[in-house]
Structure 1
Amino acid sequence: MASITEQFNVIISTYSTKLEHSSLRQDSPEYQELLLSTIKKLLNLRTSVFDKLALFSVNETIDDVSTTSIKFLAVDYYLGLLISRRQSNDSNVTQKQSMKLIYLKKSIESSVNFLTILQDYKILNPLIGEKLGYFKDRYEPQLSELYAQPKNDKDLSAAQLKREEKIKLFQRNKEIDAKLHHLESNLKNDDEDHDHDELLRELYLMRLEQFSLNTFNNIEQNLYECEMLSNFLKSTAHQNKSSSARIQKESSASDSTDFTDKLESINKPLIDKKGQVLRNFTLVDKRQQLQQKVRGYGQYGPTMSVEEFLDKEFEDGRVLQGGEEPEQAPDEENMAWQDKETYKAREWDEFKESHSKGSGNTMNRG
């Protein structure tokens, strides 16, 4: 059976080579299957390190921890990174986003636990330790607790302070990179002037500090994503509630059978034989209400006959009456009519002879 150190190295190698920069999509079944198996292995290793073997104790300092055991303090750091990459394969978008929110919160919990362990051993960066003190609920931090918040819209001091803190963390990270490169070079050269165990110990502690800076950035990114997912789920829940209320309203309005899920019978008579009222009722002129709806907004079918409609139109004065009398058919045997038509034709001929074509409106052309 492989030792704890060998198991830890295999897990870290799997994360670095196959999960951190993978050619597979993070939501692919192959990636998630490998990720889940790696998380299970790391959880089992964590149980062995902290519970079964009890390599760490709350009563000891970092000087009491052996050099080979120091790297196991980063178990929760890697656990937070792995869990943040978990995704559900549920086809329902809302359910999938809900599970992602749960995974992110679990990742934040593991990340904060890693920072707390470093703080207990007094090897946590002071600026990060100060941030932990701002958390009201340490394992459920809020985005507003990471940095100082402005007092009002015109207050720019909080933004300036946030910028300065980010610059400090960035500069410290660069310093750690340079020191790690120097320590790794000395270990490879195996210089006799340096104690190998001391170099390795300093290297492990320096990596833990770098991990703590990365962890704070990861927590901030995860909180941003949690806020987006929470807003999405709230919006979806509100839309679903409004949609269901609208559908229920439409179905109740369009149900011609007057269906009700109440226990009373809606079709029982209004009064019994003794004259006692059996159910509530309202005296309304249903016919008049329907007629008003037809002439109002919305699409309602006709509720009157054609005769009633025409009577209503005549009553409202919408029907045009009167007009010119129909022209009588000409009587060719009537001599008076023939004389009239003859004179009319002669007058037209005389008019055409006295008015040549084009002599009308000359548009001021003379």
Structure 2
Amino acid sequence: MAASVEFQNLTLSECFDQGLTSYESICDSTEPAKESGVQYKIIKCMKMLEYATQLVSAAGLYSNNETIDEVPTSDIKYMLLPFMLGSLALKLTNNGNRLDVVKTAEVYFRDYLQRCKDYGISDLTLPSEYSESEETTTQSAMDFSLMARRRAEKIKSYKEQKLMESQLQLLKEQNESNNVDEEIKRKYVTSLLKYNIGKALEEIDSLQAEMRILYFKLKHENKDNPDQAKGLKIKSKPLMPIIITKNELQKKVFGAGYPSLPTMTVEEFCQKRFNDGVWHLPTAENTKCLQQTAETSEIEEEEKKDIITEAEEENERQRLNARDEYKDDHRRGWGNRYNRS
């Protein structure tokens, strides 16, 4: 997902804060995620958070040889970016390839857990990456000590989550007040990072279980109809994660942890966008035109949703009327000739 023009004028802090507000609104919403309006909000929020991720990479805010105590309070909140993007990716329903969505979300959650571990926020043991060869692994070959350690960490994380829930709510209310102390801000964000560690571990476990099912289905689909499976692979557009990398050297080292994940520096990413014709040098005229187009598209989308909703309501009304008319003309039990002389 390319960064939208509407985010270009925002600072990193403004972009993150708006993205966080949108993220919390999506998570608190009771609307089904598959609704077109909700999907639009999810995609827009992901673009905003991806753009914030690119800005964090360009600024070089994080280093693997630091601890959380060395990170300025204003920069700690950006560590939440991969967790938020992973959570939003799982809500996508119109990507066309669920396996791509699951893999992307897992990369985000792993990146989040690894960063929390690197900065001393947690001493957790990251779960091993899923591979198709695991299906043939026997129970005796598994590392039971690792399994026991992972189980103990899950229980510990679950207990910590329960203890932090009420504390987090109180800290959030204090953090949203006008005259908030910097210590309260730092404590709130740090507590939020710790709280989401347990959620990320749960998500990875669920994603790996889903991967087993998806790989099994894909394997059998390929056997039954290899031409059709090949066609589906060509049509579906992969969803690529955007993670924080600081520079060329870090890009080379960082790739070792994610062998299947291609990474680019910010300079390479921007140059590729310009070369592909996706981005253009901004001018006063085309920026105004793009903003007007974006506003028009949003209005058209809202009108389209209203039309679809009205059509659905009309169809439902006609169906209920037809059912009532049928009941008026066909009393219950008519036509049942069983057990009659």
User: Shorter-normalised TM-score: what interval?
Assistant: 0.5 to 0.7
CA distance in 2, matches of 1:222, 1:206: 25
Q: Deviations over 1:234-259 (max 9, x none)?
A: 2222232699xxxxxxxxxxxxxxxx
Query: In the alignment, does 2:118 pair up with 1:108?
Result: no
1:16 to 18, 21, 24: 24
1:131 to 126, 144, 161: 126
Question: 2:85 corresponds to which letter in structure 1?
Answer: L
Q: Kindly indicate whether the alpha-carbon contact (under 8 Å) linking 2:154 and 2:201 is maintained by their aligned counterparts in 1.
A: no
Change beyond 3 A, Cα 1:242–1:150:
same
Structure 1 residue aligned with 2:301: none
CA distance in 1, matches of 2:28, 2:170: 26
2:78 to 72, 83, 88: 72
1:203: how far off?
Answer: 1.6
Residue aligned with 1:85, SS? coil
CA distance in 1, matches of 2:40, 2:172: 34
Q: Kindly indicate whether the alpha-carbon contact (under 8 Å) linking 1:80 and 1:108 is maintained by their aligned counterparts in 2.
A: yes
Structure 2 residue aligned with 1:46: 53
CA distance in 1, matches of 2:68, 2:21: 26
Residue aligned with 2:69, SS? helix
CA distance in 1, matches of 2:146, 2:78: 37
CA distance in 2, matches of 1:190, 1:8: 19
Q: Which runs of 5+ in 2 are unaligned?
A: 1-8, 229-341
Q: Kindly indicate whether the alpha-carbon contact (under 8 Å) linking 1:26 and 1:85 is maintained by their aligned counterparts in 2.
A: yes
CA distance in 2, matches of 1:119, 1:100: 29
2:34 to 21, 27, 40: 27
Q: Kindly indicate whether the alpha-carbon contact (under 8 Å) linking 1:67 and 1:197 is maintained by their aligned counterparts in 2.
A: yes
Change beyond 3 A, Cα 1:55–1:227:
same
1:43: how far off?
Answer: 0.9
1:207 to 180, 192, 201: 192
Structure 1 residue aligned with 2:214: 229
Question: 1:3 corresponds to which letter in structure 2?
Answer: T
CA distance in 1, matches of 2:16, 2:118: 23
1:189: how far off?
Answer: 8.5
Superposed CA RMSD: 3.6
1:143: how far off?
Answer: 9.9
1:178: how far off?
Answer: 4.0
CA distance in 1, matches of 2:51, 2:175: 31
Point out the structure with max Rg over C-alpha: 1
Q: Kindly indicate whether the alpha-carbon contact (under 8 Å) linking 2:154 and 2:198 is maintained by their aligned counterparts in 1.
A: no
1:197: how far off?
Answer: 1.5
Question: 2:140 corresponds to which letter in structure 1?
Answer: K
Question: 1:200 corresponds to which letter in structure 2?
Answer: K
Structure 1 residue aligned with 2:64: 58
Query: In the alignment, does 2:116 pair up with 1:118?
Result: yes
1:77: how far off?
Answer: 0.9
1:142: how far off?
Answer: 5.2
Q: Kindly indicate whether the alpha-carbon contact (under 8 Å) linking 1:143 and 1:224 is maintained by their aligned counterparts in 2.
A: no
- Higher helix content, 1 or 2: 2
Q: Deviations over 1:158-205 (max 9, x none)?
A: 9877665443221121122243245446667999xxx92222212211
CA distance in 2, matches of 1:144, 1:161: 23
Query: In the alignment, does 2:188 pair up with 1:171?
Result: no
Q: Which runs of 5+ in 1 are unaligned?
A: 90-95, 244-366
Q: Deviations over 1:124-179 (max 9, x none)?
A: x22x2x235xx3xxxx445999xxx9539xxx999877665443221121122243
Aligned pairs, number? 217
1:37: how far off?
Answer: 2.1
Q: Deviations over 1:90-127 (max 9, x none)?
A: xxxxxx3xx1101110110111111111222111x22x
Query: In the alignment, does 2:11 pair up with 1:3?
Result: yes
CA distance in 2, matches of 1:104, 1:65: 31
Q: Deviations over 1:43-91 (max 9, x none)?
A: 111110122x2222334332221111111111111111111222336xx
CA distance in 1, matches of 2:132, 2:199: 16
1:33: how far off?
Answer: 2.8
Structure 2 residue aligned with 1:341: none
Structure 1 residue aligned with 2:295: none
Change beyond 3 A, Cα 1:186–1:80:
closer
CA distance in 1, matches of 2:186, 2:113: 19
Question: 1:106 corresponds to which letter in structure 2?
Answer: T
CA distance in 2, matches of 1:121, 1:158: 22
Residue aligned with 2:140, SS? coil
Structure with more contact order per residue of length (Cα contacts < 8 Å, sep ≥ 6) = 2
Instruction: Give the 5 Å matches for 1:345-360.
Output: none
CA distance in 1, matches of 2:30, 2:164: 29
Q: Kindly indicate whether the alpha-carbon contact (under 8 Å) linking 2:175 and 2:188 is maintained by their aligned counterparts in 1.
A: no
Residue aligned with 1:151, SS? helix
Identity across matched positions, percent: 23
